[in-house]
Amino acid sequence: MILYPDCQPGIFKKRVNRFIAEVEVDGLIHQVHVKNTGRMQELLLPERLCTVQFHNNPTRKTKYSLISILHEGIWVNLDSQVNNAVVTHAFEQGKIQGWEQPDTIKREVKVEDSRLDLLIEQKREKLFVEVKGVNLVENGLALFPDAVTARGVKHLKRLMEIKKEGHHAMCIFLVGREDATSFFPHAERDPLYAQTFCEAKNDGVDMRVYLSEVTENSITIGKEIPTRE
C-alpha cells in the first residue's frame, strides 16, 4: 500500500490549467498542483470532495498537491506519478501472476531510444514492463487513453520489438479506481493507439489490467480485470 502523509480534505473548485487547480482547504482557496495531465473532465467537477497533500517546502510554488477525488461514492486516485510505485510494490509482494518470485526489479530502464518503467528478472528470464494509469471509466468500462498519446504508441512498438527478440514484454494498465469490470483501448480518442494495442496483443505482448483499492489517502493494487477489443 502507498500511503500519502499530511493529507487534508478539500473542496474542488476548478482546474486552472494542466498543472494547477483551485481547491478550498479550511475555508481558503488555494492553488494546488495537479499530478496528472489527463483530461479527467468527468472527475474534476466543482464542489466535489477531494484530498490534498500538504508539502512543508517553502521553495514550492504550491504547498498542496491534489491526490484523490470522490466520484459517485468512490475515491479515485489522481496521482499519475504513483502508478509505477504501486506496480513495483505488487511485483515485490508476488501479486503479478507468473512473476511471483522476481530476483531483481529495476526501474526506469533505457531500451534503445525508449525508457520503459520496469525490468523484472526471474530465473534468468527478463520481463520488460510499461505502466499506464487509467482514470476514465464509462458504464464499467475502463478506457485508455483519454487523449492522443504518441508516446504510448512508441512504447507499445518497443514492447513488440522486445517480444520478437525473445524476451517477455508486458503492459500494465492500472485503473485508479474500483468500479471497472473490463478494459478497452479507446479508439474514439486515439485510433492509432487502439490499433497498435491490438497488434501488440496479437504479437504476444502481455496486456494486464488491474483495479486499484483507493481511499482518500492511499492506493494499492486490486484485482485483475479482462481486456476487450
Query: Where along the chain do the CATH 3.40.1350.60 domains lie?
Result: 80-225
Q: What is the pLDDT of residue 127?
A: 98
Instruction: Indicate the pLDDT class of residue 65, thresholds 50, 70 and 90.
Output: very high
CATH assignment, 80-225: 3.40.1350.60
Q: What is the pLDDT of residue 105?
A: 98
Whether a cis peptide bond, with omega within 30° of 0, leads into 145 is: yes
CB 43 within 8 A of CB 76: yes
Q: What is the dihedral of CA 130, 190, 201, 132, to 10 degrees?
A: 20
pTM of the model: 0.96
All CATH 2.40.50.580 domain ranges of the chain, comma separated, are 2-76
Indicate the CATH number of 2-76 among 3.30.930.10, 2.40.50.580, 3.40.80.10, 3.90.1150.10. 2.40.50.580
Q: Round to whole Å and give the CA distance between 139 and 35.
A: 25
pLDDT tens digits, 188-213: 999 999 999 999 999 999 999 999 99
If we measure between CA atoms, which residue out of 40, 117, 106 comes closest to residue 82? 117
pLDDT at 79: 98
